[in-house]
Amino acid sequence: MTGMSQKTMKNKRFKYIVRLTAFLLVTCLFQSCCDTLFVASREVYTSPQGTNTIIIEYDHVCRPYVYQKTWFGKREIWTYPNSGFMETVSFSVEWLSEDKFRMTYNDKDDEFDEEYIITIPK
C-alpha cells in the first residue's frame, strides 16, 4: 500500500468515528428532551434482595407508569388504568416478594384511596 491509501483509510476511519459519536450524542440529547417533555417525576425502587428494580414515572397529570429496569434500559410492565389527578400525587410501594409489589395511593380524605398489586413478568 502506498502512503496515500493508508492516509485515506485513516481519514475514513476517523470520519466514521466522528459520525458515530455525533449520532450517539444526538440520541442522548433526544432522550433527555423527551424525558423533560413527558415525565414530570420519577421514583426508583429496588426489591428486598436486589434482584429487581422498578421505575415509576409520573406524567404531567400524575398518571403513574411502572417500568422494570433492564440491563439496556427499561420495559413497561404496568400503566395506570384511570385518568390523571388534579394535584401532584405519589404512590407508595411495598414489596410483597422479589417479583410482586403493592402500589398504594392514600388520599387525604380517604375518599379516593387506590391499591394495585403488580407482578413483574419473567
Q: How confident is the model at residue 12 (pLDDT cuts 50, 70, 90)?
A: confident
Cβ(77)–Cβ(69) below 8 Å:
no
Look at 5-9, 12-16, 20-24 and tell me which has the smallest mean pLDDT.
Answer: 5-9
Q: Between 17 and 35, where is the model more confident?
A: 17
Partners of 57 in the β-ladder: 42, 65
The distance in angstroms from the start CA to the end CA of the chain is 54
